Structure 1
C-alpha cells in the first residue's frame, strides 16, 4: 500500500502543475518579511541599513516552535544621525533642479541592531521587497532599491556585500573600512566613501615611524575590522623595522576576565605606545577596566573608529587618553544639517515606534508614562547639545552624505545618456523612466564605477578599481580643556594622492603627548645604536631588541641603527669612532722623522770623514805611505766612498719614479766602482810582490793604465746591467696595501727581480773575489802589505751584505729601506775605517814612521 501511495502523490503533483494556470502558482515566505523603519516611496529608491541599536539580545531557540522576533537594545544616537543625514541629502537632491531634474529619490532604511543576521535579512528585503506572497512575476521585476547605503561595521557589511554581489546591486558603505572588502572577486558590487584600512594601516605605520617608535603594543577588536586592520599594520610595520611587543584581541561580549588579562598585559609591557585598532563598542569596556587599575603613562594611538568619539572625550574617567593621536576622516561642514536634525519629531510619523524610542532616549523620558517622567512632545531638540545635535564632528556623517550623492550622480549620468539616446523631451522623462526601469537597475553598477563629482564641501569624489576613494585623513590629537574633558585638535594630515614622501605631514610642535607632556615619548626595546656600531639581535627576541656591537678595525657604520658594518675600500681605513673611512696613513722613510734624520746625519758624517781623509791624503800625497799604496786608486776609492754615502740619501723621502730608478742604480754602480778600486789595489799588492822576485816583469802587464782600465771595465759591466734593467722593467713607486691593514707602505717596487738580484749578485761576486785575493796577500811584507786591511774591510763588507738579505726580506714597511741604508752606510764606514784609518794614524800621529827608511826597515825585518 505504501509503495502505491508515493507514485500516486507524484502523479497528482504533475497533473496539478499542468492544469493550474501559472499566474495562480504562489510561494509564501516562512515568517514575516523585514520592514523598513524609515521609508519614503518615490520614483527611484535607495536602500540603507544602519545599526540603530548597539546589540540584539541573543535567545536560545529550541527549534520546536516559531522563533520570536529579535529584541534590539541600547539606542544609538550616532547611527540615527547617519540615517537623518541620508534623508537630508536625498531631500537636498530632490530640491536640486540641476541634479536628477524631474526625478525624485525615495528611501528605505532598516535597522541591523549590529547583527550580521539582521543585516542579511534587511538586505534580502531591499532586493526582493516585502510582500508575503511571491508569484512568478516577482523574479522578473527590478529590485526594490537600486543601491544600498551601509552598513557601519565591517563584519555586517561583508555579509551584505556577499549577499547582493551576485545580483549586481551596488552597496556603498560609509564606515566599513576592512581592507578585505576591496577584493573585487568576492565583492564585485561593493564601494565605499571612507578609505580602506589598508591605507589607514600604512598611515599609522608612517606615523609611528615618524615619531621614532619601534616598540609598540596593539589592541584590536576580535572582528574583521580589527583582525584585518592589525594584520595590515603588522605587515607594513615589519617592513619599516617596527616590532610588536604584544597583540591583544577583545570583543564587547567577552567575559570580564578577558579584559583583566588584556589590561595586565598592557601593564606589564615595556612598550610605552599602544595602538588601539578597535571598534568603539569594544573599546569602552576595556577603558573602564583600565581606569579602575589607574594605568597611566601610555601613549595611545587610535584608529578612526574611536579617535573622534565625543563620548570618550567628554568622559572624565578616560582622561588618561589625553595626548592620544590617530587618524580620523577629514571633517566637513554640511550647511543646514543641524536645522534638519532638530526638526525631527515623533509627530511627523505618529505610528513610527523608532522615532518615539529616539525621543525617549534623547530626553530620558517615556511616552507610556503620563507622570513626571513622561514625554510630552514639547521638548525641543534645538535646546539640546548631545551626540545627535552636535554638528562640529561630521566626519562619518559626511561620508553618508557623499554616498547618497554618488548614487544620485550615477543615476543622473544614466538618465542623461538615456535621454540623449532617445532624443526625448524633458516632459516625457518620467514616462521614459518607467519604460527603461528594468534596464536602469543593471546599469547602476556599471556607471557608478566611473562616476566623478565634487560635493558642496569641495571634495572631489571618485572610486578606484577596487571601489575605494582617495585616502585622506586628519591627524587628530586629544588635548585637555579647562572642564577636564578632551578636545580634538588637527596636527597634520595624510593624503595618498600626494607623492609618497609627502603622504604624511605633521605639525609636531602643536602635539601634546601623554600626561600633558610636551616631550615626545620614547618607545623602543633597545636604545639606538650610534654610528660606529651595528645591531646584534638578542637571542630569542624580536629584531628591535638588540645589542650595539662596535665595528671592527677597518669597518664603519655611518648611520644610526645600522644592521651591518661595512669594510672600507683598500686605500681607506676606519677612524677612531668607526663612523667614517679616512685615507690610510701613507708610510715611507721621511727626512723629517727621527730615523730618517739619524741616517742622514750618519751619511753626511761619512761624506765629511771621507772628504777629510781625501784632503789629508792630498796634502801628504808625496809621502811614502801615500805613494806606496797606489795614490791614484786611493783617491778614486775615496771618491767612490763619497758617492756611496751620498747614494744612501736617495732612499730617504717619498718614492717617485725617478728616485726609485736612481736609488738602486746609483747604489749598484757606486759600490761596484768602490770594490773595483779595492780589487785593483789588492792586485797591485800581489803584482808588486811578484815584481821583486828575480827575473819577474809582471808589473809591465799591470801598470797604472791597466789598473784604471780594469776599474772602468768592471764598473762598465754594472752600468750595462743597470741600463738593461731600467729599459726592460725599471723600478717604480708602489703602494703596498697588503702588509699593514691600517696603513699604506709607499715603496719602490724593483720592477724586474732579475735585474735587482743581478746588480746585487755582481756586486757580491766582486766582493768575494776581492776578499779571496786580499786573504791570499795578507802575509806579504808590511811596507807593501795593504792586503790585511783590505781583508778586514771586505770581511765587514761581506758580513754586512750577507746579513742584509734576510733582514731586508723580513723588515716591514719603511724599516726595509732603513735596513738597506744601514747596510750601505755600515759597509761604507767599514771600508773607510779599515783601509784609511791606519794610514791617517801614521800621517797624523806617527809622522816619523812615514819615511822611506822606515818602510824599507819594515820590509827587511819582515823578510828576515
Structure 2
C-alpha cells in the first residue's frame, strides 16, 4: 500500500471516504493507496474437469476486501482529524500482486514511476507525493517489493506474518513490520502442545520455501520438548494442479495421515488461501470420507491462515475445522469500524471498481446489465447487508491483518506529522519547506521512534528490530449449520508480558469437536501409561512411542506417562498397584504377640526348671553323685544356664537404650561362663584319670585350683572383649527401614559389628575346644566320667550355633530376634538336659544308686 501525501489548504467534508478510482481486478491501479496483496485471485486450470463445476474465471476472495476497507477507514479518520496532519490529506493506491513475482515487480515499478492524479473527496488543486508503502501480505511478495523499494529508501510496512529468516532483513533498511514476528509463533505453538500434552502430532505445510523453513525451524524445537511428528504432508499451490490424477494423488497423500486414530492434532502451516486449498482437496478427493470420524481432528493453524472460502466453495462449510485453534495477529475492535461497514452500499462505485465485484460475489447476485436479460431473483438490489454474510466470506469484526493495516496507516501519519513538525518549519533558500518537498527516506527515524495510542486504546510503536505487535491471539473456531462461524479468543502469546503471563490459554472456553464428547482429546503414539507404570521406549520407533512397564520393587509412579519410577522414602513403601506410597508400620518382637509369648514362656519355664535343679543339687550336695564332679563348678554351670534362659527376655519388647546396651554382652559373657564351666569339668575328669597312674606328674594339678583357673581365664577373655566393645562402640536403639518392604523394624544396632562377631567367634572357638576335649575323654571309667554327656550336649550346642549363623544372616526384621532367642534357648536346653537330667534321675528316682559303695564297685 502506498501513501500519497498532498499539501492542501482545504479538508473534505464528505461523510464517507471512498477511494476515488478503484479498477477491476487485473487493472492493478486502484485509487491512491496501493496494497500489493489486498485481494487474492483464484484460478483453477485442470486438463480434466472434475465432477464438480469449477469456473475458470478469476474471482475475488471477498473476505480480504476488509483489508481495503480498514485502510480506507483509517485514512478517513486521519483526514478528518484536525490535530493530525493539518492542512494535508492522505490518499492511496491499491495494487494486486496476483501472487506472481513478475507482476509484483511490475506493479512496484508502476507505483514509483506512473502518475495517477486522484485525490479522494477533494476537488482543489493537488500535488502527488509518494511517502510510504504498506505490504505485502506474504513473505515472497514483501521481499520482491523490498528489492525495489530499498533502492529508493522508501519505507515499507508489511502487515503479513512470515518467518524473518526467509531473507536477511539487514538487506532492507527500509523494512518495517506492523505484525508480530513469526518467531513468537513457534514458542506459542510448543507451549500450546505441551499444555494439552499433545506429543504425537501431524503436520501439513505448504510446499514452498516458507513451508521448508517452517519445518526446518519447528522440527528441532518439537524434538527438544519431547514432541514427535507422526506424519508430515506438503500441500502444493493450486497453480501446480495440472492434471486431475495429480490432484487425486495429492488428496490421497493428505488423507492418509488424517486416518491415524492416535493423531488427533494436526498443525496446518500455510498462507492466506491455504484453507481454501484444503477445503478444495477435501471436497474433491475425500467426499466419500465426509462423515469419517477419523477426519475429525484438532487443527492448529498458523497466523497467516484465515478462515475463508472462495466463491465456488459457497456450498461448502468449515465443519471439518470445528474446534480449530488458530494463532492470529493480535487485534482489538476499533470504535466506529463496524458502523463504517454498515453504511457501505454498492452504488458507491465512484473510484471503487472492486466494490461491485465484491458485492456480486459475496451475495451471489448480478448488477443489471440492460444489454442482457437477467432473472429477477438474481439481481443485486443494493439493500443486502454485510452483517448477513457468513464469516467465511466477510467478517464484521476487524481481523488481525486489517488491524495491522489500520495501525500501519496511523504509524505513517504520526511519523509524517512528527517529521513535518521537525523539518517542515525549516526555511531553505528563503522559503519554507512544504509537504511535497519532504523525501520518503527522511521518514525512517520518525517511524522507528513513534509511540501513540490508537483508537482501541493500545500503544503502537516499533521496537529496535523495527517490529510492531505484541504477539498472537489464540482463537477458537466454532462453526454453525448455516456455514457461518464465530472466532473466540481463548488465549494469548505475548513475549512482552510479565513472567507467567506470556502464554495464557482458557481451556474452559474451548468447544472441542463433537466426536471427542467435550473431553480433552489425546494425541499420543499409544495410550498413556497409567500410574504404577513407567515408559520404556520401543526399539526402532520414535521416542514418543513406548511400552508401559510395571514399576520395579520399591518404586512407584503416581502420574501418567512417567519416564521412570520414583523410589519411596525410607519410611514408606509402594502400594500393591505401585501408584502411591504408604506409611510403614514399626514392628518389633513384643511380649503380646504369639511368638513373643511363646519365647517368654519357654524362657521362664526353663529358668524355673534350672532353678529347681540347682535347689536339688544344693540339697543333695553331700551325696556322692554331686560331690563326684566338683560341686562348685556344677553350681556355677547351673547358675549360668539359669541366666542364659533369662537372657531372651532382654531381646523381647521395643528396644531401649539399656536393653540394647546389655543384651549381647550379657549373652556372650554368660554363655562363655557356662562353656568355660563345662570345659573345666571336662579337664578335671581328664586330669583326675591321668593322676591315677603310678608316678604321674599331673597329680599336683588335681584340685579346685585348675578348675577355677580354667573357668576364670576363659571367662576373662570374653569379658574383656565385651568391655572393649561397650566402651568403644556400644549397641544402641535403631530402626531398620530397608530390610522389609512394608515394615520399619525397631532393633538394636550392634554398634561395632566387628566386635559382635569377634565375641561370637570366641564363643564358638571355646565351644569347639570343649567338644574336642569331651570327645577325647568319653571312654574314661564311668564312675568318674560325665564326658559322654558333655560330648553329646556340646554336639547339640555347636549344631545349634552353626545353623544359627546362616539363618540369622538370611532373616530380616523381628525374625532375626526370634532366631537368636531360639538358639539361646535350644543350646541352653541341650546343655541342661544332656548333663543334668541323668543326674537328677538318679538323685530323685533312683536314690539307691547314689551311694559311694556302688561307685567303687562300678570302678573295680
TM bucket, shorter chain = 0.7 to 0.9
2:469 paired with 1:484: no
Supply the distance in 1 between the matched residues of 2:371 and 2:775 (Cα, whole angstroms). 146
Structure 2 gap segments, 5+ residues each = 1-25, 46-55, 117-126, 242-246
Which residue of 1 is the match for residue 605 of structure 2? 605
Supply the distance in 2 between the matched residues of 1:181 and 1:444 (Cα, whole angstroms). 26
Structure with the higher fraction of residues in helix conformation = 1
Does structure 2 retain, via aligned residues, the 8 Å contact 1:808–1:820?
yes
2:678 paired with 1:645: no
Compare 824-833 and 585-594 and name the one that shifted more: 585-594
Q: Describe how 1:206-245 pairs up with structure 2 within 5 A.
A: 206-224=191-209, 226-229=211-214, 232-245=217-230
Shift in Å, 1:764: 3.2
Which residue of 2 is the match for residue 68 of structure 1? none
Which residue of 2 is the match for residue 410 of structure 1? 415
2:238 paired with 1:252: yes
Which residue of 1 is the match for residue 158 of structure 2? 173
Which residue of 1 is the match for residue 37 of structure 2? 50
Shift in Å, 1:454: 1.1
SS of 1:449's equivalent in the other structure is helix
Supply the distance in 2 between the matched residues of 1:241 and 1:429 (Cα, whole angstroms). 70
Distance 1:521 1:343, change over 3 A: closer
Shift in Å, 1:148: 0.6
Shift in Å, 1:709: 6.5
Q: Describe how 1:511-660 pairs up with structure 2 within 5 A.
A: 511-515=510-514, 517-566=517-566, 574-580=574-580, 598-651=598-651, 659=659
Supply the distance in 1 between the matched residues of 2:341 and 2:815 (Cα, whole angstroms). 97
Shift in Å, 1:171: 1.5
Q: Describe how 1:382-461 pairs up with structure 2 within 5 A.
A: 386=389, 391-418=396-423, 431-433=432-434, 437-438=438-439, 441-461=440-460
Which residue of 2 is the match for residue 264 of structure 1? 255
Does structure 1 retain, via aligned residues, the 8 Å contact 2:63–2:395?
no
Shift in Å, 1:453: 1.5
Distance 1:515 1:288, change over 3 A: farther
Does structure 2 retain, via aligned residues, the 8 Å contact 1:179–1:196?
yes
Which residue of 2 is the match for residue 11 of structure 1? none
2:272 paired with 1:273: no
Cα offsets for 1:116-166 (capped at 9, x unmatched): 3222222233345559xxxxxxxxxx9962221112233212322343235
Supply the distance in 2 between the matched residues of 1:247 and 1:698 (Cα, whole angstroms). 104
Does structure 2 retain, via aligned residues, the 8 Å contact 1:675–1:767?
no
1:858 to 839, 855, 860: 855
Does structure 2 retain, via aligned residues, the 8 Å contact 1:801–1:823?
yes
Which residue of 1 is the match for residue 67 of structure 2? 82
Supply the distance in 1 between the matched residues of 2:686 and 2:347 (Cα, whole angstroms). 146
Which residue of 2 is the match for residue 335 of structure 1? 336
Supply the distance in 2 between the matched residues of 1:83 and 1:811 (Cα, whole angstroms). 87
Supply the distance in 1 between the matched residues of 2:758 and 2:345 (Cα, whole angstroms). 112
Q: Normalising by structure 2, what TM-score?
A: 0.78
Which residue of 1 is the match for residue 675 of structure 2? 675
SS of 1:249's equivalent in the other structure is strand
2:297 to 280, 299, 309: 299
Compare 579-588 and 659-668 and name the one that shifted more: 579-588
2:185 to 186, 194, 200: 200
Compare 373-382 and 313-322 and name the one that shifted more: 373-382
Distance 1:169 1:586, change over 3 A: farther
Cα offsets for 1:607-639 (capped at 9, x unmatched): 121012122233434444334444333222211
Shift in Å, 1:477: 3.4
Shift in Å, 1:212: 3.8
Supply the distance in 1 between the matched residues of 2:769 and 2:455 (Cα, whole angstroms). 110
2:90 paired with 1:105: yes
Shift in Å, 1:335: 0.7
Supply the distance in 1 between the matched residues of 2:459 and 2:652 (Cα, whole angstroms). 79
Which residue of 2 is the match for residue 722 of structure 1? 722
Which residue of 2 is the match for residue 3 of structure 1? none
Distance 1:289 1:806, change over 3 A: closer
Which residue of 2 is the match for residue 493 of structure 1? 491
Does structure 1 retain, via aligned residues, the 8 Å contact 2:275–2:309?
no
Supply the distance in 1 between the matched residues of 2:782 and 2:349 (Cα, whole angstroms). 152
Does structure 1 retain, via aligned residues, the 8 Å contact 2:44–2:239?
no
Supply the distance in 2 between the matched residues of 1:360 and 1:706 (Cα, whole angstroms). 132
Compare 195-204 and 585-594 and name the one that shifted more: 585-594
Distance 1:235 1:468, change over 3 A: farther
Distance 1:345 1:477, change over 3 A: closer
Supply the distance in 2 between the matched residues of 1:723 and 1:355 (Cα, whole angstroms). 110
Which residue of 2 is the match for residue 151 of structure 1? 136
Does structure 2 retain, via aligned residues, the 8 Å contact 1:555–1:565?
yes
SS of 2:327's equivalent in the other structure is strand
How many correspondences in the alignment? 791
Does structure 2 retain, via aligned residues, the 8 Å contact 1:88–1:337?
no
Which residue of 1 is the match for residue 51 of structure 2? none
Cα offsets for 1:815-850 (capped at 9, x unmatched): 666555444333322321222212211222123333
1:120 to 60, 82, 105: 105
Does structure 1 retain, via aligned residues, the 8 Å contact 2:774–2:788?
no
Does structure 1 retain, via aligned residues, the 8 Å contact 2:323–2:477?
yes
Does structure 2 retain, via aligned residues, the 8 Å contact 1:38–1:108?
yes
Does structure 2 retain, via aligned residues, the 8 Å contact 1:476–1:488?
no
Does structure 2 retain, via aligned residues, the 8 Å contact 1:669–1:715?
yes
2:769 paired with 1:768: yes
Structure number with larger C-alpha Rg: 1
Q: Normalising by structure 1, what TM-score?
A: 0.78
Supply the distance in 2 between the matched residues of 1:92 and 1:154 (Cα, whole angstroms). 29
Compare 653-662 and 211-220 and name the one that shifted more: 653-662
Shift in Å, 1:670: 1.3
Shift in Å, 1:334: 4.2
Greater RCO (Cα-Cα under 8 Å, separation 6 or more): 2
Shift in Å, 1:404: 0.2
SS of 1:562's equivalent in the other structure is coil
Distance 1:772 1:521, change over 3 A: closer
Cα offsets for 1:542-597 (capped at 9, x unmatched): 33332212232344444321223455678876543334566788887666666555
Q: Describe how 1:353-368 pairs up with structure 2 within 5 A.
A: 364-365=365-366
Supply the distance in 2 between the matched residues of 1:472 and 1:857 (Cα, whole angstroms). 117
Does structure 1 retain, via aligned residues, the 8 Å contact 2:691–2:698?
yes
Distance 1:39 1:846, change over 3 A: same
SS of 2:93's equivalent in the other structure is strand
Cα offsets for 1:162-207 (capped at 9, x unmatched): 4323543222122344444685324433223233333334434433
Does structure 2 retain, via aligned residues, the 8 Å contact 1:35–1:130?
no
Shift in Å, 1:331: 4.6
Which residue of 1 is the match for residue 21 of structure 2? none
Does structure 2 retain, via aligned residues, the 8 Å contact 1:36–1:110?
yes
Shift in Å, 1:407: 1.0
Supply the distance in 1 between the matched residues of 2:259 and 2:763 (Cα, whole angstroms). 85
1:380 to 382, 391, 408: 382
Shift in Å, 1:432: 2.5
Distance 1:581 1:694, change over 3 A: same
Supply the distance in 1 between the matched residues of 2:57 and 2:438 (Cα, whole angstroms). 36
Cα offsets for 1:11-38 (capped at 9, x unmatched): xxxxxxxxxxxxxxxxxxxxxxx99623
Does structure 2 retain, via aligned residues, the 8 Å contact 1:491–1:508?
no
